[in-house]
Structure formats: structure tokens, C-alpha cells
Amino acid sequence: MGSELPVIDVSPLLAGGSAATVARQIEAACVDSGFFYISGHGVPADLITRMDAGARRFFELPLDAKMKISMARGGRAWRGFFPVGGELTSGRPDLKEGIYFGAEREPDGRPLSGRNLFPDEVPELGASVLRYLDVMTEVAQAVMRGVALSLGLDEDYFAESYTADPTILFRIFHYPPATADDGWGVGEHTDYGLLTLLLQDDNAGLQVHSARGWIDAPPIPGTFVCNIGDMLDKLTGGHYRSTPHRVRNASGRERLSFPFFFDPGWDSEVPPLPSRPRLDGGRARWDGQDLRAFTGTYGDYLLSKVAKVFPQLRADVLD
């Protein structure tokens, strides 16, 4: 299966080469659908293989073993395992199970900060996830340099502001095989922050609501799917799109995906860029929300979303 979405070689952004062409490609993709693939990212294939194998071992464990690291134990740090049906998207339970991770640090009192929960039964998973977080943070900073250049900003614009102390979330999802009658693996939604870098195994399932209708974003070996989130849409006054997407695993096999979210610092406010007029003419979003009307910090925005996807965690996280 092919994809209509472009593949952009981001190696010049990592190697310090001339990035003018990459920046132009990023702008075109972000104006069009907000989705593209990246190649030339330098993430070691053996790291991905190790993490994928560890994740598969984990999901094969009996439910009671997986529940030993359940999200209830993660509390305010918003970490750990949730079983199939445990997460809601747009108010409906998703057909997936998964583990939530984030940057590994001592709790600092703010919601979502803290240490990860790793399964004792699969000791190698923790090491590969922590390594992956470090490597992907570098890749995300590099792609954000390209995004900055694509907007006519200094290449370090984001690194010196919003992503000097980024909010980093990482998830590993396991989608059982599903039919159209079963509902969605992940319901239609947009991502919340700046950038999502998605690793998929070799099973298709991701669909993107482009201007031309719903299109598939099947896995392409050696690439990540990159999409922009609500905060880049908001920053650019709608010039760049945070585009709705959803998942149905119709492959007949187990599907694993690994979304890495690279978002503004918890306390960052995200007003429109001064150079950007509001371009969307007040266009209504898929969910009726007006992003531009939101004021407050990224942390406030994220918490309002957490309360919707994990209502039972609301009290833990918001108290």
C-alpha cells in the first residue's frame, strides 16, 4: 500500500548541512495535511528491534502481571499500563492497550512529572525505552529546527523557548485485530502539542483526514510518521494544520505503535507568533474547539485533555 504523504529526508537538520530544501518541504507538508514521513533520522535500527521485542513480550503477559504497573500506580505522573477499553478518545473507549512513559526525572510536584513504571518481567524494556527517549528527543529538536526555518524563524527559535525544557510523553500501544464493527483502535483526534513522531510496526491502521478525505498512512520501513499538534496550529494561526487522525487495525494481526510526543514546556504559554496573522478565518475545527481562544499554559491545555481521556485519573492528576 502506498501513501500520498511525502517522505522528507531530515538528515541535513541533524548533520548541520544546508537545510533550505528540507525547510521548504516541511512547510509544504504542514500547510497541506500536517503529516509527513521522515527518513535520514539516524535512529539505530537495533534499538527499535530491542524495544519492539520487549514490548511484545510485555503485552503477551497475563493481564494480572501487566496490571502490576497499572496507571493507578503512576498517579500524578501519568505513567503505566492501561488495559483494552481503558482509554477514551472523543468520549468512546479505544480498542487498544498500552503503556504510558515520560521523561525520567524525580517528581517536581507538577502533574505528569516523575519516574517511569517498568515491568520486572521484561527488564530489558526499561533500558531500551529510556535510550529511545534520548535519541528521539534529538530527532525532534532537529525536526523543530526545520519547522523554525520553514516559518522564517531562527533555527533555534523553539529550542530557546518552548522546547528548552520540553514536555515529553511516549506511549507504546498494542491494537488487537479489529473489524469495522468493533469500533476504533483510536478514535478521531488531533495531537495536543508541537510534534509527534510515530513508529509503526509493519501493520497498517493509521488514517489521516486530509483535505482530500481520509487517507492511509501505512508504515514505510526506516521512517517515522511525523505530524504536528494543536500548539503548532495555534502558534501559526492555522497556517500549519493539526489534522485529525484515527486508527483501525484491520490487518488481521497484532499491531504495535510507538508514538513519541514532543511538546512545549509545562509552564509555557503559546501565543500566536508575532509574524503570523490568523489565517484560518475562524474556520471551525473538527471538534468545534477554537484553539486560538485558549489562553493559559501548555500544562493547563494538557490537563484539560487528560481529564477527558482518562476520567478516572482526573482526581489523581488534577488535585
Q: Is 207 in the site for ligand AKG (CB under 6 A)?
A: no
Could you tell me the smallest distance in angstroms from the CB atom of residue 206 to ligand AKG?
A: 4
Instruction: Give which of ligand AKG, Fe ion, none residue 102 binds (C-beta under 5 to 8 Å, depending on kind).
Output: none
Query: Looking at 52-60, 104-112, 183-191, 304-312, which segment touches Fe ion (CB under 5 A)?
Result: 183-191
Among 144, 247, 291, 309, binds ligand AKG (CB under 6 A): 247
Q: Binding segment for Fe ion among 53-61, 85-93, 187-195, 201-209 (CB under 5 A)?
A: 187-195
Fill in the amino acid letter for 17. G
Cβ proximity to ligand AKG: between 157 and 260 the closer is: 260
- Closest chain position to Fe ion (CB): 191
Contact of residue 41 among Fe ion, ligand AKG, none (CB under 5-8 Å per partner type): none
Give the nearest distance from C-beta 189 to Fe ion in angstroms: 6
In angstroms, give the least distance from the CB of 259 to Fe ion: 6
Contact with Fe ion (CB under 5 A): which of 97, 191, 201, 263?
Answer: 191
Q: How far apart are CA 179 and CA 148, in angstroms?
A: 41
Nearest residue to the partner ligand AKG, using Cβ: 257
Looking at the Cβ atoms of 94 and 191, the one nearer to Fe ion is 191
The answer to whether 17 and 11 are in contact (CB under 8 A) is: yes
Contact stretch for ligand AKG (CB under 6 A) within 112-120, 199-207, 266-274, 293-301:
199-207
By CB under 6 A, tell whether 71 contacts ligand AKG: no
Binds 122: which of Fe ion, ligand AKG, none (CB < 5-8 Å by kind): none
Which residue pairs, CB below 8 angstroms and at least 24 apart, start in 123-127?
124/50, 124/53, 124/54, 125/51, 125/54, 125/55, 125/57, 125/58
- Residue range at the interface with Fe ion (CB under 5 A); choices 2-10, 90-98, 106-114, 190-198: 190-198
Q: Which three cell numbers stand for residue 133?
A: 527517549
* Cα distances (angstroms) measured from residue 303 to each of 110, 188, 192, 316, 318: 11, 19, 11, 11, 7
Among 55, 186, 204, 235, binds ligand AKG (CB under 6 A): 186
The smaller minimum CB distance to Fe ion, of residues 191 and 230, is found at 191
Q: Any contact of residue 248 with ligand AKG (CB under 6 A)?
A: no
| C-alpha to C-alpha distances, 197 to 73, 207, 208, 212, 315, nearest whole angstrom | 27, 15, 15, 23, 29
Measured between alpha carbons, how far is 181 from 125 in angstroms, rounded to an integer?
33
User: How near is the Cβ of 63 to Fe ion at its closest, in Å?
Assistant: 25
Q: Is 259 in the site for ligand AKG (CB under 6 A)?
A: yes
User: Is residue 225 within 8 Å of 191, Cβ to Cβ?
Assistant: no
Contacted by 247, from Fe ion, ligand AKG, none: CB < 5 to 8 Å by type = ligand AKG
Partners of 93 in beta bridges: 88
Interface positions with Fe ion (CB under 5 A): 191
Interface positions with ligand AKG (CB under 6 A): 171, 173, 186, 191, 198, 200, 205-206, 245, 247, 257, 259
